[in-house]
Structure 1
């Protein structure tokens, strides 16, 4: 396991690692030291590839039981079919047949698997897409019981030291930060993990400690104090220096911190592999986990969804993978919307279609990514800002400004007047 080593904890992170790999493989000549150029024969990296059965449409949640473990099961015949949250080998089998177009990069993705079934199900499907591209995927259950973390650290210490480049999906992750303390990578690439990339770049530029934007309070509780040395060391390992280059691969508007390279993610891999989608007459709403993270009041959120659905003629609600079953049940019953639990990141679901001619979203990463993934399809993406009165009393003081910045910098979207 040498070459390029990536750590991901969510489906979107894995998608963006594939986008980075595709962009790297598509560059002329050798894009990375020690990586052979793509062979001239056979299918080029950007050519269309038959979609795996796992890349199907999202699944509607039953009104009484949205968010059950069903999303962790793939279609019949797929490696994840009928698999529970803890099923499957630690080392999934690789693709059969000729190597995929990204095989020459020598990229290995380590999935530090989360515990919730929705995320695990989407990650299994994304992992299969990655294997189809020639990427090695290692499934690591780092959160499964006592001793799992130490076992993970022992297993990954050697590959970490041998890796030429490390790609990080979530620089705020305690697991990733702990892993980074084991070695000093010469090349680091950070790919998008939602809007957190914007906060990471800003904190890196200001020399601040890494704290998620929605975290309330001082962040100096007992657990944070114990982990403070790890966070401090990890921040140094994620900063550019005399012996370290740092790249941020992003679709978001990011000011490059001093000494850091920012590379644009235009979702070329997604556009080359999926779609274009069939468009429906109505609109689709995109859900957010701002209620679950303690930022937005649930009653205000439901009222906003109801008004948006009625105003724009929406028929479907694409749930965020972290939204609770109780909240989604309430949305389905009180608004009449069809609640859909996507089995892949929304960028892939929308690109495959069918999708509404208008997609309405609250401030989130998708107001930046969907216009890129759906470029040339005629789909309009609209963003509805979060009103101050929707925020909970104990929401982070930074919440309103951060969310306003996410919406305000989305230059390819339409701004909505809520009412």
Structure 2
């Protein structure tokens, strides 16, 4: 476990390599957090849930960090206002890194002890590592949003061109439906919201073999998709008008060419790559315009578990969705999180764990939609067919896209 812990923690430091202290303090909106805060909060998690509970002689380098770097755990006490995280200029980056090293030394010592409560410590340490992987994804997407406000449009990583490939023709994967089981099967790690495993009935359906591409999306735009309320939900149309959406987030047009701001700087929009940074509202409108619909999360899961987990994840280093390099294979994993029409609600029999750790997912099971499949910013170690992430229907700053589904 010590080696796994070190691998996860080191990746976070790799992600901030080359960033200036000014970069790491940016907070561009309430939904996002500064890179420095992500580094501190993930350390806070290990400190609060493991070290202070299981290491009797542990001493924090600064007891005030318990307040500064709590996120939303009410049972862990008061916390700094979320929208003001970018105002925490002190502790500075060096102090936050020193905090991480302090926590890491204590965690490694604890993980190598022979104890009667080793099982509890390991279970929480694994949860902490997966929690950190979620924040690794947030770190880079939050940074993308922050840097997009800079008129210089700086690149997070070297602005290399994306891999070139032609999008596969749209094909369909059919399924006969029936009474099927979904949810985590109990083998290996899973978040509490992935269970209990349970039966659900599916009518016969089909799932698109590839994601919706930028080229597909431009067709929607050219057909007046953003100008007509015909295919939009009422709340969606109101949001579109209020936010003045006319294209995916980070897109602009220049000399009859669509461009997008990415983690590798400004790039021409690749017509063959999956569309990204679209809200649930936009995804649903596109599906209706296409004459299809978004899949349910159960439909996605029963198809995806038949295919190996491979694709464009954080480890590939592309840092943006790319055209599939294997166009003959169904594109089920990576590139973009895929909106489903399923609300993020508890599965039958769900019970949140006791204590503050029970606030991890259960308190968010309202007014959000489930996405599946992981993205180019997701560590591949996070992925399994039962993994559910969730966002509000208006949000766009994450790597969010879609695939189509239909009844058979």
TM-score between the two structures when normalised by the length of structure 2: 0.28
Q: Which has the higher strand share?
A: 1
TM-score between the two structures when normalised by the length of structure 1: 0.27
